[in-house]
C-alpha cells in the first residue's frame, strides 16, 4: 500500500504570473489613487533616457520610485541622495519583475513645501467662511488714547514699536501683553494674551507684532484658533508680523496688515509733527474766523445805525419833498410831450389829405394811360416784325427742301413707267422697259436699250431712297406746273 498523499483536485482557474502582476497593479492603483509620501532619497539613478529611479526611505522602511522625464523637467530643484523630500505619486507595480513601486509626478523639498500647502489650505478654508471679508474689518481709531501691544517682551519688535510710538505720539499710553511668539505653545499663549487685552477694556487698538524669521519661525501666527480669536476681538487689531514679504493667516484675519512691527506702530498713531502743524493751522483758522465774525458784527452795527438815521421824520419829509418835485417835473414834461405828439399827428393827417386830392389822382391815371398806350404800340409793332421774320425764315427753309429746287439745278428723276418706282441703279431696270424721266419743266418718255454698271451718283440734299419714299406726292406736284 502506497504511503503518498492523494493529489488535490485541479482548480478551475489558475493565474498566470503576468495576469497576477497586472491585476495587482490595477488593485494598488485603484485603492490608493494619488498619495503624498515623505522620505529621504537614496540610490538615485539618472540614465541618459531622462527618467529618474531612486528609493525613498525613512527609519523603518523603503520603497522604490520612478519619475519619468516629462515630470522631472518641471522640478524647481535637482534632487540628490540624502535630500528629504515630499513626493506626489501613484502606487503601482512593475509587472515584468513584480516589483512594488511608486510612480512620482511631483517632488518638493520637505519642510517649507508642506508648511506652505497647509498655509494655503487653511487660508482657503477660512476665506470661504468669510473670516477675511473686508466688510467685517473694524476701522482703526485716528487718535488712540491707549495702545495694547501683544508680543514678546524681549524681542526686537517691542523695542522698535516703543521707539516709534515715543517719537510719533507720546501722548498715548502703551500696555504690553507679553506672550511667546515662536514654538508649539506660542499660538495658545497669543490667544490668551489677546483675550486678556480684550477683557481689560483699556485699549483702543491692539498691535499683534513679531520680528522677521523663516516660515517655521512665523508658523505660530498661522494657527486657526488664533485667526478666529483675532476675528472675534471687538477691539481693532493691527498685525505687524515679519517683513514685507511675509504673510501669515493672522495678517488676513486682522483689521489691518502692516509690513513690519514699526510700520504697524506708525499705522495706528498720528505724527506729532503733523499734529503740531495741524494745530497751528487750526489756531490760525480759529483766529481768522473770530476776526471775520467780529468784523461782520461791526458791519451789521453800522448798517443798523445808518437805517436808524434814515428813518428819522426829517429825512422822510425831505425825501417826500424831493419826490413831489420830481413828480411835478414829470407831469409838465408829460403834458408837453403829449401836446407835441398831437401836433405832429395833425400835420401828418393834413399832408395825407393833400396827397389824396382828386386832381392828383386824375393826373396820375392820365400819365399811366399814356404810358400803357405807348407800351401797347411798341409791343404790337414788335410782334408784327417778329412774325414777319419767322414767315420769311420758314419760306427759305421750305424752298431749300423742295424737290422743285433740286430739279431746277439740272437734276432729274427716272421712274419705271409701270409702277412709278424710282430707278436708283442699273439693276433696277431691264432692256425694253419703258421709263419716265422728270425734269424741272417737263417729262421725257424713253425705253431702255441697255443696262450696265457705271460710276454711282447721288442727289445733293436728298438720296434716291428719300425721293422714292415721296415719289407719288413729289411727282404730282411737279407735273402740275410742267403740264400747265
Per-residue pLDDT tens digits for 48-72: 888 889 999 887 889 999 998 888 8
Look at residues 238, 150, 270 and name the one whose alpha carbon lies nearest to residue 199: 150
For residue 456, the model assigns a pLDDT of 58
> Which single residue is written with the C-alpha cell 415719289?
471
More confident residue, 387 or 469: 387
Can you give the CATH number for the domain in which 198 is found?
A: 3.40.50.261
- Does 256 lie in the same domain as 147? yes
CATH classification at residue 59: 2.40.50.140
Length of the chain: 484
Chosen domain end from 270, 285, 309: 270
Q: Is pLDDT at 459 greater than 50 in this prediction?
A: no
Residues 147 and 244 in one domain: yes
Residues 136, 313: Cα–Cα separation, whole Å: 73
β-sheet with 237-241: strand ranges across:
173-178, 146-151, 205-210, 237-241, 256-258
Count up the domains in the chain and report the number: 4
Instruction: Kindly state whether residue 363 falls inside one of the protein's structural domains.
Output: no
What are the distances in angstroms from CA 209 to CA 112, 188, 252, 297, 368? 22, 15, 14, 56, 118
Query: What's the whole-model pTM score?
Result: 0.43
CA distance 136 to 128: 14
The pLDDT of residue 476 is above 50? no
In a domain, 338, yes or no: no
Burial 288-313 (b: 16+ CB within 10 A, else e): eeeeeeeeeeeeeeeeeeeeeeeeee
Residue 51 exposed, middle or buried by CB count within 10 Å (0-12, 13-18, 19+):
middle
Mean pLDDT of 16-43: 85
pLDDT-derived band at 5, boundaries 50, 70, 90 = low
Whether 33 and 48 map to the same domain: the answer is yes
Q: Classify the phi-psi angles of 183: left when phi > 0, otherwise alpha if psi is within -120 to 50, otherwise beta.
A: left
Q: Is a pLDDT exceeding 50 seen at residue 1?
A: no
Q: Where are the alpha helices (DSSP H) in 41-155?
A: 69-72, 112-129
The residue range of the domain holding 293 is: 272-331
Verify that 263 and 291 share a domain, yes or no: no
Neighbour tally for 6: CB within 10 Å: 6
Final residue of a domain: which of 270, 289, 306?
270
Which residues, in sequence order, are CB contacts of 96 under 8 Å at separation 6+?
Answer: none
DSSP-derived pairing of the beta strands 146-151 and 62-67: unpaired
Same domain, 192 and 252: yes
98 and 152 together in one domain: no
For the residues of 432-453, what is the DSSP string, one character each? T-EEEEEETTEEEEEE-S----
416 burial type by CB count under 10 A (0-12 exposed, 13-18 middle, 19+ buried): middle
What are the tens digits of pLDDT across the range 306-316?
Answer: 777 777 777 77
Note whether 151 and 260 are same-domain residues.
yes
Spatial separation of the C-alpha atoms in residues 124 and 118, rounded to whole Å: 10
Neighbours of 469 (CB within 10 A): 13
CB 251 within 8 A of CB 132: no
pLDDT at 187: 92
Higher pLDDT, 240 or 410: 240
Q: Does residue 362 fall inside a structural domain?
A: no
In this structure, are 430 and 318 located in the same domain? Answer: no
Average pLDDT, the chain: 83
Domain for residue 122, yes or no? no
Residue 231 belongs to a domain: yes
Q: What is the pLDDT confidence band of residue 111, given thresholds at 50, 70 and 90? A: low
The per-residue pLDDT for range 292-328, each reduced to its tens digit, is: 899 888 888 888 877 777 777 777 777 788 888 889 8
Mean pLDDT of all residues in 360-383 = 87
CA distance 109 to 309: 98
CA quadruple 436, 439, 443, 444: dihedral sign:
negative
Widest pairwise Cα distance in the chain? 185
Verify that 432 and 467 share a domain, yes or no. Answer: yes
What grid cell was written down for 69? 522625464
Amino acid at each position: 500500500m502506497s504511503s503518498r498523499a492523494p493529489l488535490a483536485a485541479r482548480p478551475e482557474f489558475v493565474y498566470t504570473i503576468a495576469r497576477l502582476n497586472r491585476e495587482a497593479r490595477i488593485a494598488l492603483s485603484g485603492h490608493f489613487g494619488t498619495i503624498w509620501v515623505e522620505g529621504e532619497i537614496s540610490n538615485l539613478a539618472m540614465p541618459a533616457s531622462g527618467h529618474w529611479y531612486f528609493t525613498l526611505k525613512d527609519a523603518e522602511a523603503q520603497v522604490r520610485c520612478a519619475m519619468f522625464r516629462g515630470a522631472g523637467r518641471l522640478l524647481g530643484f535637482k534632487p540628490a541622495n540624502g535630500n528629504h523630500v515630499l513626493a506626489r505619486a501613484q502606487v503601482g507595480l512593475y509587472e515584468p519583475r513584480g516589483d512594488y513601486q511608486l510612480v512620482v509626478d511631483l517632488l518638493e523639498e520637505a519642510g517649507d513645501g508642506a508648511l506652505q500647502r497647509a498655509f494655503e489650505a487653511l487660508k482657503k478654508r477660512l476665506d470661504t467662511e468669510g473670516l477675511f471679508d473686508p466688510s467685517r474689518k473694524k476701522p482703526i481709531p485716528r487718535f488712540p488714547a491707549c495702545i495694547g501691544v501683544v508680543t514678546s517682551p524681549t524681542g526686537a519688535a517691542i523695542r522698535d514699536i516703543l521707539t516709534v510710538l515715543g517719537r510719533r505720539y507720546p501722548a498715548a499710553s502703551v500696555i504690553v501683553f507679553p506672550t511667546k511668539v515662536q514654538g508649539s505653545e506660542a499660538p495658545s499663549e497669543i490667544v490668551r494674551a489677546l483675550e486678556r487685552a480684550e477683557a481689560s477694556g483699556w485699549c483702543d487698538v491692539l498691535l499683534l507684532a513679531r520680528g522677521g524669521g523663516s516660515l517655521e519661525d512665523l508658523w505660530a501666527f498661522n494657527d486657526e484658533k488664533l485667526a478666529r480669536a483675532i476675528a472675534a476681538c471687538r477691539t481693532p487689531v493691527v498685525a505687524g508680523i515679519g517683513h514685507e514679504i511675509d504673510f501669515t493667516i493672522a495678517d488676513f484675519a486682522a483689521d489691518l496688515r502692516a509690513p513690519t512691527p514699526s510700520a504697524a506702530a506708525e499705522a495706528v498713531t498720528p505724527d506729532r509733527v503733523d499734529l503740531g502743524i495741524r494745530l497751528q493751522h487750526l489756531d490760525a483758522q480759529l483766529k481768522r474766523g473770530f476776526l471775520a465774525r467780529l468784523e461782520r458784527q461791526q458791519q451789521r452795527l453800522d448798517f443798523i445805525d445808518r437805517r436808524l438815521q434814515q428813518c428819522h421824520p426829517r429825512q422822510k419829509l425831505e425825501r417826500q419833498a424831493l419826490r413831489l418835485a420830481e413828480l411835478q417835473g414829470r407831469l409838465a414834461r408829460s403834458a408837453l410831450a403829449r401836446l407835441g405828439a398831437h401836433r405832429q399827428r395833425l400835420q401828418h393827417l393834413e399832408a395825407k389829405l393833400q396827397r389824396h386830392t382828386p386832381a392828383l389822382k386824375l393826373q396820375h391815371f392820365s400819365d399811366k394811360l399814356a404810358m400803357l398806350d405807348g407800351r401797347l404800340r411798341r409791343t404790337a409793332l414788335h410782334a408784327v416784325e417778329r412774325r414777319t421774320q419767322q414767315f420769311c425764315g420758314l419760306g427759305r427753309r421750305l424752298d431749300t427742301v423742295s424737290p422743285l429746287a433740286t430739279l431746277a439745278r439740272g437734276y432729274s428723276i427716272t421712274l419705271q413707267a409701270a409702277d412709278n418706282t424710282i430707278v436708283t441703279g442699273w439693276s433696277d431696270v431691264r432692256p425694253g422697259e419703258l421709263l419716265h424721266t422728270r425734269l424741272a419743266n417737263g417729262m421725257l418718255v424713253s425705253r431702255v436699250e441697255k443696262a450696265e454698271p457705271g460710276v454711282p451718283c447721288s442727289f445733293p440734299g436728298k438720296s434716291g431712297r428719300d425721293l422714292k419714299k415721296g415719289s407719288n406726292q413729289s411727282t404730282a406736284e411737279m407735273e402740275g406746273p410742267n403740264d400747265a
